[in-house]
Amino acid sequence: MVIFESRTPRWIIILVDLFINLFALLFAYVIRFDLDRQSELIQEEWDKLSNYIWLFIAVKFLVFYSYQIHKGLVRHTSTHELNRIFFAVSTCTLVFIFFGALRFYFVDGYYFLPTSVVIVEFLASFSFIIGSRFVIKLIYLESIRNKDKVENIVIYGAGVSGLITKKTIQNDTRNNQNIICFIDDNKKLWDTRIEGKTVHGPQMLKKIHNKYNIDTVIIAIQNPKPQRRKALLDECIELNIKVQKVPDPKSWINGEFSSKQFVKAKIEDLLGREEIRLNVEEINKNLKEKTILVTGAAGSIGSGLIKQIARFNPKKVILFDQAESALYDLQWELKDTEPQLNFEIVIGDVTHHERIINLINSFQPQIVFHAAAYKHVPLMELNPSEAVKTNVLGSKHLADACDKFGVEKFIFISTDKAVNPTNVMGATKRAAEIYIQSKNTTSKTLFITTRFGNVLGSNGSVIPLFQKQIENGGPITITDERINRFFMSIPEACQLVLEAGAMGKGGEIYVFDMGESVKIIDLAKKMISLSGLTINKDIQIKITGLRPGEKLFEELLANEENTLPTHHDKILIAKTNVRGNMNDEINKLISLIDGQKNQELVLILKEIIPEYVSQNSEFEELDKI
C-alpha cells in the first residue's frame, strides 16, 4: 500500500494524537452527562473549561513531545512503546490534578476538570491512542502479508517452546500461515485455550485435518518420546501432512528464532527408538586419559566415534585415514565443535604394513577402533582383490601390530553382511572377524568385534542416495520392493560400540539390537512424503532389480549362532565357534591379491567361510564345485 511506502511526517502524528486526546476529553464529558443532552449543563461545563482548553492542549503536547511519543514508528508499535504511552498519559493526568488544585484554591473555586472526567479521560486517552496504533499496525501487517494460499498449521506442543513458535509464526509477515490449534500429550491441557488457540490430544489430528485441511504440523517439543514422535510422523505421512521441527535452542538468538529456521523432520525420527543409556562410568574408565587410534576416521562411523570419544577426555586421539579431503574437513569441524580435544591427523593406508607398524610404535595407543573398510557391495563384487586387500589384509596388519606392541584393546567394526554372506564384501568382513577372534586366543591384546546393520545417513547408504534423487526430481531407484534392512542412527551405533568396547573381555562378537527391520520401499515413500511431495506425482519409484551379491533380507546372526545377554539390553554376545590359528588360511587368501585371480580368491574365501553362498553374482558357479 502507498500509505506505508515511507514514514508518516512526525507533525501529522502529533496532530492526530492531539485530536485523539480532545476526542477522549469529549468522550469523558459525554459519560459524565450520562449521554444526557441538557444544554444548560453543557453550557455551564463549557464555561468552566473554555478558558483553560488551551492548557489541556499545551500539557498534552509538551508531555507527549518530551516522552517522544511521535518518534515511534506507528506500524511497529511494541511493548516498549506501550509503556512510553502509558507514562505519558499518566503524567498528563497528574498535571491536570495539580492544576485543578491550583485553580480550586487560588483562582475561582473550580477544579480544572471534574474528578470523573479526569478518570474517564485517562482511560479513554490511553485506550484510544493504543487502539489507533494497533489498528494502523494491523492494516500495515495485512498490507504486506503474503497473499499466497493460506497454510494451515498445527503446533505439536503447548509448552513454552510451542508458545514461542506461535509468536514466531504470527510475527513473520513474509509467510501466510494460519495456526489452527495446538496438540499436546498432556491430558490436563486438552480442551483448554492458550493465547486463543484450543489444545487437543494427538488422537484428534485426523479429525482436525478433515475439518481444516491441515498443511503442516510443527513439532515444538524439543525431545518428544521416540515412539510418540514416530506415531505422529506416521499419521502425518498417511494424511499427507508436512512435518517440520523447531530448531535446536542452541541456534536461537536471545531466546528467539526465525520461521526460516524450521527444519524438516528427519528419517531417523521414524525409527521410534528409545534413547540409549550408556554406562558412562565404565566407558570413562576405558577411555579417559588414554591414547586412542581410530582408523577410517574420516568415514561416517569413524568420525562419529571420534565425536563420542571426545566426551570422555582422552589423552589423545589419532585420526588415521587415506581420505585427505575428508580428513581436512573433519579437522576443522573438530576444532570448531570439540576445541578441548587433543587430536592428530595421520594420512595412510591400513594395507601398508610398514606404515601401520610405524603408526602403532610411534603413538603407542592403548585403544584401537578399526573402522577402515571397503563396504559397497556391488563395487566389491567387481573388485574382490581390493576387498580382500583392505578388509582382510588391512585388518590383519593392524591386529598383528596391536599384538606386537601390546595394545590394550582392539575393537573391530564389522557388519551384518558378514552373517551368512552372499557377497564378497560380507565374506571379507567375516574372514576378518574370524582372524581377529582367533588372534584373541594367543594375544595379551583384547580383540573385540562389534556387528550391526545399516547406519542412517552414513556414506553410501540409501538415505543420502534417496535424498539426492528427490532433490533431482526423481526417480528413486530401488533394487527390489521386497528388500528389508535394519537401521540405526550414527550416534546410536557409535555409542553402542563404545559400550561394547568398555565391557569386552576379549574374543566376543557383540551384536546390537537393531529393532524391527524396515522395508526399503516404505522408507523411500516416507522420505518422499517428509519432503512435502507426492509419490508417483512429484517423484516416481523405479524398481531396478537386485545388484550383484545383494540380499533381500539381512541377518545379525549366522545359522549356528545364538546369543547371550549382557548388562545392556541393546547389546548381545553372539556365541560362535572360535577357530584356532588362522594364519595359513588367511595368508593363502592374501597371496592371491596381487595376481588379481578373482575366481581363485573367492574360492578360498568360500573354503574359509563355508556359509558363504553367492547370490545374483558371477561367483555363483563356484558354489557348485
First to last CA, the chain: 84
Residue 341 confidence (pLDDT) above 80: yes
**Rounded to whole angstroms, how far apart are CA atoms 184 and 188?**
9
**Rounded to whole angstroms, how far apart are CA atoms 261 and 218?**
12
| φ and ψ at residue 277, rounded to 5 degrees | -105, 115
**What phi-psi label fits residue 543: left (phi over 0), alpha (psi between -120 and 50 degrees) or beta?**
beta
CA angle at 501 for the pair 495 and 507, rounded to the nearest 5°: 140
pLDDT at 568: 76
* Residues 388/589, Cβ–Cβ less than 8 Å: yes
| pLDDT digits 0-9 by tens, 532-552 | 777 778 888 888 887 776 667
Grid coordinates in use for 76?
511497529
| pLDDT digits 0-9 by tens, 135-177 | 766 666 566 555 556 788 888 888 888 888 888 887 766 667 7
Average pLDDT over residues 331-347: 92
Highest mean pLDDT among 165-174, 217-226, 279-288, 395-404: 395-404
Is there a shared CATH topology between the 151-265 domain and the 280-455+487-515+555-624 domain? yes
* Residues 392/609, Cβ–Cβ less than 8 Å: no
Highest mean pLDDT among 271-280, 359-368, 508-517: 359-368
**Rounded to whole angstroms, how far apart are CA atoms 380 and 549?**
9
Please state which architecture CATH assigns to domain 151-265. Answer: 3-Layer(aba) Sandwich (3.40)
Cβ atoms within 10 Å, residue 418: 26
Instruction: Tell me the pLDDT of the chain averaged across its residues.
Output: 80
74 pLDDT band, cuts 50/70/90, is very low
Would strands 476-478 and 541-543 be described as parallel, antiparallel, or unpaired? parallel
More confident residue, 482 or 141: 482
Average pLDDT over residues 210-226: 83
CB-based burial label for 55 (10 Å; 0-12, 13-18, 19+): middle
* Residues 225/184, Cβ–Cβ less than 8 Å: no
* Residues 164/256, Cβ–Cβ less than 8 Å: yes
More confident residue, 353 or 77: 353
Grid coordinates in use for 42?
453543557
Lowest mean pLDDT, pick from 73-87, 107-121, 182-196, 319-333 = 73-87
Residue 379 confidence (pLDDT) above 80: yes
Domain boundaries, the chain: 2-144, 151-265, 280-455+487-515+555-624
* Residues 456/579, Cβ–Cβ less than 8 Å: no
pLDDT at 559: 54
Residue 440 confidence (pLDDT) above 80: yes
Residue 3 confidence (pLDDT) above 50: no
3-state SS of 328-360? HHHHHHHHHHCCCCCEEEEECCCCCHHHHHHHH
pLDDT at 5: 45
Per DSSP, the residues of 439-481 read: HTTT-SSEEEEEEE-EEET-TTSHHHHHHHHHHTT-PEEES-T
Residue 574 confidence (pLDDT) above 50: yes
Percent of the chain predicted with pLDDT > 70: 78
Residue 1 confidence (pLDDT) above 60: no
What SS3 class is residue 293?
strand
354 pLDDT band, cuts 50/70/90, is very high
**Rounded to whole angstroms, how far apart are CA atoms 243 and 529?**
9
Highest mean pLDDT among 84-98, 229-243, 308-322, 484-498: 308-322
pLDDT at 4: 44
pLDDT at 219: 86
* Residues 244/218, Cβ–Cβ less than 8 Å: yes
Residue 76 confidence (pLDDT) above 60: no
Annotated catalytic residue 417:
yes
Active-site hit among 417, 429, 526, 570:
417
**Rounded to whole angstroms, how far apart are CA atoms 531 and 337?**
29
pLDDT at 79: 58
| pLDDT digits 0-9 by tens, 307-334 | 999 989 999 999 999 999 999 999 999 9
Average pLDDT over residues 70-94: 66
Lowest mean pLDDT, pick from 46-60, 186-200, 230-244, 256-270 = 256-270
Q: Identify each DSSP E strand in 269-342 by its residue range.
A: 291-295, 316-321
Average pLDDT over residues 196-201: 88
Residue 73 confidence (pLDDT) above 50: no
Query: With b meaning 16 or more CB within 10 Å and e meaning fewer, what string describes 586-605?
Result: beebbebbeeeebebbbbbb
What SS3 class is residue 485?
strand
Multiple choice CATH, 280-455+487-515+555-624, 3.30.420.10, 3.40.640.10, 3.40.50.720, 2.70.70.10 = 3.40.50.720
| pLDDT digits 0-9 by tens, 263-322 | 677 766 666 666 566 677 888 888 999 999 999 999 889 999 999 999 899 999 999 999
**Rounded to whole angstroms, how far apart are CA atoms 63 and 69?**
9
Percent of the chain predicted with pLDDT > 90: 24
Residue 381 confidence (pLDDT) above 70: yes
Residue 2 confidence (pLDDT) above 50: no
- 107: closest CA among 48, 59, 58? 48
More confident residue, 187 or 76: 187
pLDDT at 316: 95
